[in-house]
Each structure stands twice: as C-alpha cells, then as structure tokens.
C-alpha cells in the first residue's frame, strides 16, 4: 500500500487490512453526530477499500440508523419478523429471538439465519441492489462466525480479457426465493405479501456501479437462479464456476469479529459469506442497516 493512502485523510485514520479490500477506521465515534468533512472522508475510504471496520463502537440502534442515513435512504427488510420493533430500519441477523433468548440450533429462525453461509451480495434480488450495509456486532461468538468479503472488481479484472468479453452481455436472474431450491431445509415460511414484494429481477453479470464507474463480476450465487438464454443447469454451473474464481484468497478479506465492531461494506462491488459457528450454544446478535442503491 502506498504511503499516499495513509496521508489522504485529515480527520480519520485509515489502516488497510488486506491486499484486496478492507480497512480499519480510527478516530471517529459513531455514537456522536459526525461532521460533514469526516463523513466525506469515510465515504472516500468506503468506496476505495469497500469494507471498513470501526472497532469498539458500542452504539444504540438509533445511533446506527442515524450514522447509516448519512450515506443514503435505508431499506426496510422484507420479512417483518426480522425487523426491530423499535427501529424498522434495523434488520436483526441473529440466532437469538427479539428478546435475546438463544434459539435451539434446529429452530426455523436459526436455520434460516444460516443462509448467510452462502456467498451473496445483499439485496441483489432488488431492482437496484443495496449501496451498502452497516453491521454492528452486538454479541459475537468466541469461535467461528467470521465474515469473508470478496472484491468483485478485482475478481473481474483478474479474468483473462477474452473471458471478460465472453461474459459481457450476459444477464443474470436474481431471485429472493431461490433458496427454496438449493437450501430448502433452511428456508422458513413466508407470508405471500412478503414474497410478492420482491419478485425476481435481472442484472448484467458484468455490472457497472453508477457511483464509482467500476465494473464488477456481479455473481451473488445465493440469489442468482439463472442466466437469460442459457439452459438452467449450464447457467448455474457457470455461476458456480465464477463464484469459485471470485473467492480465491487474493480477492478476500476475512473479518474475525470482536464485540462492538461496526463493519460497513460497499455492496455492489463485493459479496460476502459467514462461516459456521456453534449455533445452538453460542450467541450471535448482529444488527444491520442497509443503504438503498442508486
Ligand atoms: Fe449478507
């Protein structure tokens, strides 16, 4: 990393965490109202490093919502049961219920939570995928449960030029309900209005992010159910092959959580997956806010 990366921030300290993506941000207190100049530097670092880690941020849900709103409107998660009763913008990602009780490992809610072990880009099932997400680790297990992030721009850039060209015009179908096919045992019952609120959408496989102009290999295999004009099996084989390519170590940042880490990622240029932990014994309570895509 060049020394320039260390010098271009006047109000925050940004320490790169891995070669491909990820940086630790120091010198900011997310519980406080943040000055515009600091927000501008955070935005600059967010778009450059794609994953920002703010350690030791013991913030309330209200403070998380306030911080996240500085970067855009917030999504409301489609499933009512997973929203906080007090702040609908807070999506609870947890193996504990809303009262904080640990759920048995075979509880439908706990099983459903394990869908996050599949590689995905948040909200790729929306017409415009989320711009970003802010995830606060309120309680984290002592072992396991790491989140792995991939830089999809580098994954695209790393492909041979001929391969890039061959993928250029492909359009992928992203379907929120696709989990019923590859992980039916993890899916939970949903209300018809919840399902109808997120019908399948289409995105280019090589997707250009409007804000940064960067091109990414937009695979999101947990939601990518097919490719227009290609028979289903071949399309899914291709998506799986491209996912395997993208998750090579040189494109990854692994985040091992400490309590009250706040991690903010630039969603359209990344995908992520959580590693396993002892679901029936260890508590993991994460609160997510999601920034609407542009
Ligand atoms: Fe996610």
Q: What is the Å distance from ligand 1's center to 125 Cα? A: 12
Instruction: Supply 209's token pair.
Output: 């992010």
How far apart CA 258 and CA 54 sit, in angstroms, is 11
Alpha carbons within 13 angstroms on the beta-carbon side of residue 246 total 30
**Whole-structure pTM value:** 0.94
Residue 190: the pLDDT is 77
Q: What is the Å distance from ligand 1's center to 225 Cα? A: 17
Q: What is the Å distance from ligand 1's center to 170 Cα? A: 24
* pLDDT tens for each residue of 145-164: 999 999 999 999 999 999 99
Q: What is the Å distance from ligand 1's center to 174 Cα? A: 14
Instruction: Supply 141's token pair.
Output: 């297990």
Q: What is the Å distance from ligand 1's center to 286 Cα? A: 11
Q: Provide the β-strand partners of residue 139.
A: 285
Say which residue, 47 or 81, is predicted with more confidence.
Answer: 47
Q: What is the Å distance from ligand 1's center to 145 Cα? A: 13
List Cβ neighbours of 284 (8 Å cut-off, separation of 6 or more).
Answer: 94, 95, 96, 139, 140, 141, 145, 277
Q: What is the Å distance from ligand 1's center to 11 Cα? A: 30
Q: What is the Å distance from ligand 1's center to 72 Cα? A: 18
Q: Please identify which residue in the block is written with the tokens 């969603």.
A: 267
Q: What is the Å distance from ligand 1's center to 179 Cα? A: 14
How far apart CA 39 and CA 264 sit, in angstroms, is 13
262 class by beta-carbon count within 10 Å (0-12 exposed, 13-18 middle, 19+ buried)? buried
Q: How confident is the model at residue 85 (pLDDT cuts 50, 70, 90)?
A: confident
* pLDDT tens for each residue of 186-222: 887 778 888 888 899 999 999 999 999 999 999 999 9
Q: Please list, residue by residue across 91-108, b when 16 or more beta carbons sit within 10 angstroms of its beta carbon and e when fewer do.
A: bbbbbbeeeeebbeeebe
- List of domains in the chain: 3-291 (3.60.130.10)
Q: What is the Å distance from ligand 1's center to 272 Cα? A: 6
Q: Please list, residue by residue across 217-240, b when 16 or more beta carbons sit within 10 angstroms of its beta carbon and e when fewer do.
A: bbbbbbbbbbbeebeeeebbebbe
Q: What is the Å distance from ligand 1's center to 3 Cα? A: 32
Q: What is the Å distance from ligand 1's center to 232 Cα? A: 24
Q: What is the Å distance from ligand 1's center to 7 Cα? A: 32
Q: What is the Å distance from ligand 1's center to 293 Cα? A: 15
Q: 100 and 92 in contact (C-beta within 8 Å)?
A: no
Percent with pLDDT over 70 in the chain? 97
Q: 217 and 251 in contact (C-beta within 8 Å)?
A: no
Angle at 25 between CA 249 and CA 269, to 5 degrees: 45
Q: What is the Å distance from ligand 1's center to 121 Cα? A: 6
Question: What is the phi-psi region of residue 145: left when phi exceeds 0, alpha when psi lies from -120 to 50, beta otherwise?
Answer: left
Rg (CA), the chain: 19
* pLDDT tens for each residue of 30-44: 999 999 999 999 999
């Amino acid at each position: 990393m060049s020394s320039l990366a260390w010098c271009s921030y006047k109000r925050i300290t940004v320490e790169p965490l891995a070669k491909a993506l990820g940086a630790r941000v120091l010198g900011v207190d997310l519980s406080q109202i943040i000055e515009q100049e600091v927000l501008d530097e955070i935005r600059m670092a967010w778009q450059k490093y794609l994953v920002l880690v703010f350690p030791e941020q013991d913030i309330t849900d209200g403070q998380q919502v306030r911080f996240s709103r500085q970067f855009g409107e917030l999504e409301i998660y489609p499933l009512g049961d997973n929203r906080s009763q007090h702040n609908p913008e807070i999506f609870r990602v947890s193996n504990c219920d809303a009262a904080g009780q640990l759920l048995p490992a075979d509880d439908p809610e706990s099983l459903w939570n394990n869908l996050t072990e599949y590689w995905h880009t948040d909200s790729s099932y929306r017409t415009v995928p989320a711009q970003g997400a802010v995830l606060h680790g309120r309680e984290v297990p002592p072992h396991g449960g790491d989140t792995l992030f991939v830089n999809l721009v580098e994954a695209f850039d790393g492909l041979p030029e001929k391969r890039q060209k061959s993928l250029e015009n492909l359009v992928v179908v992203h379907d929120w309900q696709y989990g019923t096919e590859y992980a039916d045992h993890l899916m939970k019952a949903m209300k018809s209005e919840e399902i109808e609120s997120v019908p399948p959408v289409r995105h280019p496989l090589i997707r250009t992010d409007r804000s940064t102009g960067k091109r990414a290999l937009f695979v999101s295999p947990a939601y990518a159910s097919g490719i227009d004009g290609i028979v289903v099996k071949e399309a899914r084989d291709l998506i799986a092959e491209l996912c395997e390519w993208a998750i090579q170590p040189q494109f990854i940042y692994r985040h091992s959580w400490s309590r009250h880490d706040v991690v903010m990622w630039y969603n359209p240029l990344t995908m992520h997956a959580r590693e396993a932990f002892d679901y029936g014994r260890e508590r993991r309570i994460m609160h997510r806010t999601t920034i609407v895509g542009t």
